[in-house]
Structure 1
């Protein structure tokens, strides 16, 4: 029984520093989207970067937002819209709120290959780590639909 209580206390303490219910405003969302589209990935085919993301957790004390992002390049080839480079990846955004409005100042991505899982465990709080390590394909499909909708509005 003591062991169960101990585990509950540990989980509570881990959760206390982070929040699933993020306090991300609409302005924060615009800043995040702008940053992802301009700073995380460059277009390889001269196209435009589009993105969609899901916030997995936030940590106000550390000034971090943990999210999964889908970032895709689209470009026009004649009359056709083509897909260029892209990525679907978990990341940590470092946020500066010192001047009132949020400003994304940097990001961290996990390394590929055998480093991936260890990097996720190091970068994310426990409950966001679990989500990032097993991010559901239906969530990625939702992000794809968001990006495709934005592309259709802007490029067609």
Structure 2
């Protein structure tokens, strides 16, 4: 067999093998183990560093990624809601709570990201300037809504996060609402 024919047969064999391999898309990031680990580590971090308690209850946190998501600078931008729950007369009762934007500073460590610090805007007159200094411009409408649609999205997010923390508390205390 000539050298040319062998090269053609080799090329055809490679193409056939490549064409028979599975073309399933990779698992979406939202369902991957690293993404789930990140979600859990964010909530754990929020419970320890953001949540507050006044009634000796348990703190439960939920968050939503802001439009900016993960920036190339290693920050993760989220809206966090942490709520204290305790049981009173066999019913879930809310204690102290906090809801605010948080910039989580991360550092790559082996196969995951470690949260090393966080930034939150100050209260009152510091809020607007701090938001502009800490968060990317693309996330400002989610943090400081200016029109009816943005306000509705802001309120919907707050309701969803509150429902999430209430569900977590119900599971923790084995109480159904």
TM-score range, shorter chain: 0.7 to 0.9
Quote the RMSD (CA, aligned, Å). Answer: 2.1
* Partner residue of 1:63 out of 69, 74, 80: 74
Structure-1 residue corresponding to 2:23: none
* Superposition deviation, residue 124 in structure 1: 0.6
Q: Which structure is richer in relative contact order (CA contacts within 8 A, separation 6 or more)?
A: 1
Q: Is the 8 A contact 1:31 1:102 kept in 2?
A: no
Q: Is the 8 A contact 1:63 1:96 kept in 2?
A: yes
With structure 1 as the length reference, what TM-score do the two structures score? 0.78
Is structure 2 residue 129 aligned with structure 1 residue 111? no
Q: Deviations over 1:25-66 (max 9, x none)?
A: 111111101101112123222111101111012344311011
SS of residue in 1 equivalent to 2:59: strand
Is structure 2 residue 53 aligned with structure 1 residue 35? no
Extract unaligned runs of 5+ from structure 1. Answer: 1-20
* Superposition deviation, residue 109 in structure 1: 1.0
* Superposition deviation, residue 148 in structure 1: 1.3
Distance across 2 between alignment mates of 1:73 and 1:100:
32
What count of residue pairs does the alignment treat as equivalent?
A: 136
